[in-house]
Amino acid sequence: MTYKNKLERSKYILKKLESLYPETPIPLDHNDPYTLLIAVLLSAQCTDLRVNKITPKLFKKAQTPSRMIQLSIEEIEDIIRPCGLSPQKSKAIWNLSKIILEKHQGIVPQTFEELEELPGVGHKTASVVMAQAFGHPTFPVDTHIHRLAHRWKLSNGKNVLQTEKDLKKIFAKNLWNKLHLQIIFYGREYCKARPHEIKNCPICQEIS
């Protein structure tokens, strides 16, 4: 059966994703909002698998803002180098830790505005933290979700922010936090950027 209507496609996609991924564990290992924030920052242009190998080494030395700023930026950079972009990321980690201590009493802020004011924290990183640490309904859009939203004809957005707006209009707010993880899991397993073989992609088989 081919689903031409956007509403029909979205209902089929939801049903299929729920059957494939009834549980959605958070991919990045963490202990609290602060360690999640650091892990998400490190995941930029880096795989979750690699981040999960690096963060235990970092958090063994510093898993709170007060401990982190006791390290030098060079020490942080040396630990996180395998994650890529280590000069920028190490400075961001040290500086955001200092701001969290001085401005937020050592507690990760719980608003988009305050999170996005932190060094190295963009809208996507803030969205992930708001969703996964604080349970706030958000729809973080990464490259996987952006790609699949186009393939599934749910959005023709030219950037992730427009794709996020389109998906929020289609899907109920109470589904967003789980759904964004389900789409990521599906994109990694079945609907990769290249090669993309429709015969191996259950959803694209049905809605293309």
* Digit-coded pLDDT (tens) for 71-105: 999 999 999 999 999 999 999 999 999 999 999 99
Q: Quickly count helices (H) and strands (E) in the chain.
A: 12, 0
Weakest-pLDDT range from 49-53, 163-167, 192-196: 192-196
Q: What is the pLDDT of residue 200?
A: 87
As a whole number, the mean pLDDT across the chain is 94
Report cis status (omega within 30 of 0) of the bond before 195: yes
Q: What is the pLDDT of residue 111?
A: 97
Place of tokens 């996020």: 164
Considering 6, 91, 142, 168, which one is annotated as catalytic?
142
**pTM for the whole structure:** 0.91
Sorting pLDDT into bands at 50, 70 and 90, what band is 143?
confident
Enumerate the H helices of 117-159 as residue ranges: 123-132, 143-151
Q: What is the pLDDT of residue 3?
A: 63
Determine whether 124 is an active site residue: yes
The DSSP code for 155 is -
The helix or strand, by DSSP H or E, that contains position 34, with its residue range, turns out to be helix 33-42
Sorting pLDDT into bands at 50, 70 and 90, what band is 202?
very high
Q: Which of 60, 24, 28 is nearest to 44 (CA)?
A: 28
Mean pLDDT on 157-163: 92
Sorting pLDDT into bands at 50, 70 and 90, what band is 59?
very high
Q: What is the pLDDT of residue 195?
A: 82
Q: Which of 147, 137, 132, 66 is nearest to 99 (CA)?
A: 66
Determine whether 142 is an active site residue: yes
Q: What is the pLDDT of residue 207?
A: 84
What domains appear along the chain, each with residue ranges and CATH number? 6-25+138-207 (1.10.1670.10), 33-132 (1.10.340.30)
